[in-house]
Amino acid sequence: MEESDEVNEANEESHGNNQEALTRVTGMYKDWFLDYASYVILERAVPAIEDGFKPVQRRIMHALKELDDGRYNKVANVVGHTMQYHPHGDASIADAMVQIGQKELLIDTQGNWGNILTGDGAAASRYIEARLSKFALEVVFSPKITDWQSSYDGRKKEPVNLPVKFPLLLAQGAEGIAVGLSTKILPHNFKEIIDGSIKHLKGQRFKLFPDFPTAGIIDVTNYNDGLRGGKVRVRAKISQLDKNTLVINEIPYGTNTSSLIDSILKANDKGKIKIKKIEDNTAAQVEILIHLPGGISPDKTIDALYAFTSCESSISPLGCIIEDNKPLFIGVTEMLERSTDNTVAMLKAELEIQLSELQEQWHFASLERIFIENRIYRDIEEEETWEGVIRAIDKGLKPHIKQLKRGVTEEDIVRLTEIRIKRISKFDLDKAQQYIDSLEDKIAQTKDHLANLVDFAISYFKELKSKYGKGRERKSEIRIFDDIEATKVVIRNTKLYVNREEGFIGTSLKRDEYVTDCSDIDDIIVFTKSGQMMITKVDSKTFIGKNIIHVAVFKKKDQRTTYNMIYKDGRGGSSYVKRFYVTGITRDKHYDLTTGKSSSEISYFSANPNGEAEVVTIFLRQAANIKKLKWDLDFADVMIKGRASKGNIVTKYSVKKVELKEKGLSTLKPRKLWFDDTVQRLNVDDRGELLGEFTNEDRLLIVNQKGLLKTVIPELTMRFDDDIIILEKWVPNKPISVIYWEGEKELFYIKRFLVENCDKEEKVITDHPKSYLEKVFTDYRPMAELVYSKKRGMERKDNLTINIEEFISVKGSSAMGNQLTKDKVIEINALDPLPYEAPVVHDTLDIEVVDEENIIPETKESPAKSKKENNQVNGEDNSGKEDEDGDGQTKLF
CB 764 within 8 A of CB 780: no
Of the pLDDT bands very low, low, confident and very high (cuts 50, 70, 90), residue 849 is very low
| Cα distance between the two ends of the chain | 124
Average pLDDT over every residue of 677-695: 86
Of the pLDDT bands very low, low, confident and very high (cuts 50, 70, 90), residue 496 is very high
Confidence at residue 874, expressed as pLDDT on a 0 to 100 scale: 39
pLDDT of 16 above 60: no
pLDDT-wise least confident of 510-519, 668-677, 867-876: 867-876
Of the pLDDT bands very low, low, confident and very high (cuts 50, 70, 90), residue 28 is low
Please list, in sequence order, all residues whose beta carbon lies within 8 angstroms of the beta carbon of residue 839, skipping any fewer than 6 positions away.
none
Q: Which of 29, 36, 127, 836 is flagged as catalytic? A: 127
pLDDT-wise least confident of 13-27, 538-552, 641-655: 13-27
Helix or strand or coil: residue 607? strand
Helix or strand or coil: residue 710? strand
User: Where do the DSSP E strands lie in 311-413?
Assistant: 312-315, 320-323, 326-329
Confidence at residue 30, expressed as pLDDT on a 0 to 100 scale: 65
Confidence at residue 878, expressed as pLDDT on a 0 to 100 scale: 38
d(CA 738, CA 851): 39
Beginning with the edge strand found earlier in the chain, give each strand of the sheet holding 630-634 in spatial order. 630-634, 615-620, 655-662
* Cβ neighbourhood burial of 136 (10 Å; 0-12, 13-18, 19+): buried
| Catalytic residue status for 253 | no
Angle at 767 between CA 766 and CA 768, to 5 degrees: 95
Of the pLDDT bands very low, low, confident and very high (cuts 50, 70, 90), residue 862 is very low
Of the pLDDT bands very low, low, confident and very high (cuts 50, 70, 90), residue 10 is very low
pLDDT of 302 above 80: yes
Confidence at residue 840, expressed as pLDDT on a 0 to 100 scale: 62
pLDDT of 485 above 50: yes
d(CA 483, CA 685): 13
CB 735 within 8 A of CB 779: no
d(CA 821, CA 747): 7
Q: What is the DSSP string of 329-357?
A: E--HHHHHHHHHHHHHHHHHHHHHHHHHH
Average pLDDT over every residue of 468-487: 89
Confidence at residue 707, expressed as pLDDT on a 0 to 100 scale: 92
Average pLDDT over every residue of 58-80: 95
Distances in Å between the alpha carbon of 277 and those of 244, 775, 821? Answer: 11, 40, 50
pLDDT tens for 514-571 read 999 888 888 999 999 999 999 999 999 999 999 999 999 998 888 889 999 999 999 8
pLDDT-wise least confident of 57-66, 421-430, 511-520: 421-430
Helix (H) or strand (E) run with residue 502 in it: none
Average pLDDT over every residue of 182-192: 94
pLDDT of 168 above 60: yes
Other residues' Cβ atoms within 10 Å of the Cβ of residue 509 = 20
Bridge-based pairing of strands 174-177 and 237-242 is unpaired
Which alpha helices (DSSP H) does 597-663 contain, by range?
none
Confidence at residue 753, expressed as pLDDT on a 0 to 100 scale: 93
Of the pLDDT bands very low, low, confident and very high (cuts 50, 70, 90), residue 147 is very high
CA dihedral 664, 669, 675, 681 (to 10 degrees): -40
Average pLDDT over every residue of 646-671: 88
Confidence at residue 514, expressed as pLDDT on a 0 to 100 scale: 94
Helix or strand or coil: residue 398? helix
Of the pLDDT bands very low, low, confident and very high (cuts 50, 70, 90), residue 792 is confident
pLDDT of 877 above 50: no
Confidence at residue 861, expressed as pLDDT on a 0 to 100 scale: 37
Other residues' Cβ atoms within 10 Å of the Cβ of residue 112 = 13
pTM: 0.77
Confidence at residue 25, expressed as pLDDT on a 0 to 100 scale: 57
d(CA 168, CA 161): 13
Confidence at residue 27, expressed as pLDDT on a 0 to 100 scale: 59
pLDDT of 17 above 80: no
The DSSP symbol for 44 reads I
Beginning with the edge strand found earlier in the chain, give each strand of the sheet holding 548-554 in spatial order. 548-554, 523-528, 532-537, 591-592
Of the pLDDT bands very low, low, confident and very high (cuts 50, 70, 90), residue 794 is confident
User: Where do the DSSP E strands lie in 539-600?
Assistant: 542-543, 548-554, 562-568, 575-580, 591-592
d(CA 805, CA 834): 10
* Cβ neighbourhood burial of 251 (10 Å; 0-12, 13-18, 19+): buried
Percent of the chain with pLDDT over 90: 59
Other residues' Cβ atoms within 10 Å of the Cβ of residue 765 = 23
Select the more confidently predicted residue: 865 or 777: 777
Helix (H) or strand (E) run with residue 242 in it: strand 237-242
Give phi and psi for 217, each to the nearest 5. -110, 140
Percent of the chain with pLDDT over 70: 90
Question: Considering the chain, what is the average pLDDT of its residues?
Answer: 86
Of the pLDDT bands very low, low, confident and very high (cuts 50, 70, 90), residue 868 is very low
pLDDT-wise least confident of 379-383, 506-510, 823-827: 379-383
Helix or strand or coil: residue 738? strand
pLDDT of 467 above 70: yes
Confidence at residue 98, expressed as pLDDT on a 0 to 100 scale: 95
d(CA 435, CA 486): 76
Please list, in sequence order, all residues whose beta carbon lies within 8 angstroms of the beta carbon of residue 824, skipping any fewer than 6 positions away.
788, 789, 791
Distances in Å between the alpha carbon of 888 and those of 183, 514, 877? Answer: 67, 42, 25
Helix (H) or strand (E) run with residue 671 in it: strand 671-676
pLDDT tens for 687-708 read 889 999 888 788 999 999 999 9
Q: What is the DSSP string of 726-737?
A: EEEE--TTS-EE
pLDDT tens for 722-763 read 889 999 999 999 999 999 999 999 999 999 999 988 888 899
Number of helices (H), then strands (E), belonging to the chain: the values are: 17, 47
d(CA 486, CA 484): 6
Confidence at residue 875, expressed as pLDDT on a 0 to 100 scale: 37
Instruction: Please choose, from the candidates 365, 348, 353, 369, the residue with its C-alpha nearest in 3D space to the C-alpha of residue 440.
Output: 365
Amino acid at 88: H
pLDDT of 873 above 70: no
